[in-house]
Amino acid sequence: MMEMLYKVAVATHVIAATIWVGGVLFMALVAIPVARTLDPKSRANITSAIGRRFQRVGWASLGWLVLSGSFMMYFWGARWANLVDLSFFQAPHTRVLGLKLVVVTLMMLLSLTHDFFVGPRASGGSTPEQIARYRKMAAWQGRITGVLVILIVILATMVARPWLV
């Protein structure tokens, strides 16, 4: 039974990761560049609407990634004791997993500040100068998130294929 649940966790983890990574890259490589060709009001409306829609889908995907990833770690033998003393992370592929978890945490913190602080202020705010400043911050957060997402995929591949480590 546990093996079947593990297989379901792996499959749904990959699907959720695909949704998250695809959405982040779509925003960075397609939606935002296209929006930049529009007049400022249309650009703000489009990016805000796409961002709000992806926010729900993206955070649902991230939530499932945390749950399914935690289950997969449990299946591999992770318990509070060996996580706290870091002995779980002794094997080469679990060391890479530890690095992946650090990068995921950074990406999630960056996404939280983007989605709930910087992004809403970039869509509208007090003064045009503040809006421009928040748009520039949001753009940099998007770029950094895109790089982190690609790094996470590379690290995930190394975890899944320990012989690459």
Q: Where do the domains of the chain lie?
A: 2-164
pLDDT, position 152: 97
Consecutive sets of 10 residues in the chain, 165 residues long: mean pLDDT of each? 95 96 91 89 86 92 96 95 94 94 96 91 80 89 93 95 78
A 10 A CB-CB count for 156 gives: 20
Structure tokens at 163: 């012989």
The torsion defined by the Cα of 49, 54, 55 and 58, in degrees rounded to 10, comes to 180
pLDDT, position 28: 86
H/E/C letters for each residue in 88-129?
HHCCHHHHHHHHHHHHHHHHHHHHHHHHHHHHHHHHCCCCHH
- Interatomic CA distance for residues 43 and 84, integer angstroms: 46
The pTM for the full model equals: 0.89
Cβ–Cβ under 8 Å, residues 54 and 27: yes
Cβ–Cβ under 8 Å, residues 127 and 48: no
Residue for token pair 């991230």: 62
